[in-house]
Structure 1
Amino acid sequence: MKTNKIIYWISTGLLSFFFLSGAMMYIFNYEHAHEFFISLGFPIWIIYPLAALKILGVITIISKKSLFLKELAYAGFLFDAILALAAHIIVKDGEHVPAIISLVFITVSWVYDRKVYGNYTQIKS
């Protein structure tokens, strides 16, 4: 059990770092994010809402206050990483590796969350 917790917290910490650093880049280096989103073909109006959702997703996963919101945050991170991977592959900018790494951290964190904190699909008595 201790090994599972260590794996969970390392993967969740790295996942949190990846998404928080992305959110901070969107907020504090808006010009770079603006150019980046245009080069990928995404609308620029989504930059600030996406940054806010990344921050809220990390808080939700770490706090574990709501199982539903935690699962929603994992799903949102998964969709974000898949779409980022697809966009980078389509525009062939060579920036697809961080998206792949994010997918690994999301998967490992989610799987080990289940191992450490239980399977939420079953009703606990």
Structure 2
Amino acid sequence: MKKRDLIIYRVVTALFSLMLLAGAITYFVQYEMVSKMFTSLGVPTEIIYPLAIVKILGVLAIWLIKNPVIKTLAYLGFALDLVFAIIAHLNAGDGGAIGPAIPLVLLIISYVFYRKKRQVYN
């Protein structure tokens, strides 16, 4: 893997991770606001805390776990979460679909460069 590609992978993955961690922390710190948003989207509020924990664990998996299956499952989980968030915002018509679309683009770029990196070392 070229040094440029490795830098792109790390920067994009870091930006993605920071966005998801900020969201997860918001779920804990501003529960009432998040709860109202989930309710307006038609999403059950019971998933707020588990979703926050899974997001934190997913970011840790992407950065720390060496097992490619677990890392790929973390990417898949984030992709599903973000796609469903986009669908929920589009369905609600609140104009908030861009919020999860940005990290989804970063996730795709990160995954493409992760696959490049993995091919070099295999």
The answer to whether the superposition gives a TM-score over 0.5 is: yes
Secondary structure of 2:43's aligned partner: coil
Deviation at 1:98, TM superposition (A): 1.8
- Structure 2 CA distance for aligned equivalents of residues 27 and 68 of structure 1: 29
Equivalent positions of 1:1-125 (< 5 A) are 1-118=2-119, 124=122
Structure 2 regions of 5+ residues with no counterpart? Answer: none
Aligned letter for 2:108?
Answer: T
> TM-score by structure 1 length?
0.92
User: Aligned pairs, how many?
Assistant: 121
CA distance in 2, matches of 1:36, 1:3: 39
Distance (Å, rounded) in 2 between the aligned partners of 1:116 and 1:68: 15
Which structure dedicates a bigger proportion of its chain to helix? 2
What CA RMSD, in Å, does the superposition of the two structures yield over aligned residues? 1.4
Return closer, same or farther for 1:88/1:119 CA change in 2, 3 Å cut-off: farther
Counterpart CA distance in 2 for 1:60 and 1:119 is 20
Runs of 4+ in 1 over 6 A off after TM superposition: none
- Counting aligned pairs with the same residue, the percent is 42
Distance in 1, Cα, partners of 2:87 & 2:120: 30
| CA deviation string 1:24-49 (max 9, x = no partner) | 01011100111011000001110000
- Shift of the alpha carbon at 1:68? 1.5
CA displacement, residues 43-100 of structure 1 (integer Å, 9 cap, x when unaligned): 1110000000000000000013322211111000000000000111111111111211
Given the two structures, how large is their TM-score scaled by the length of structure 2? 0.94
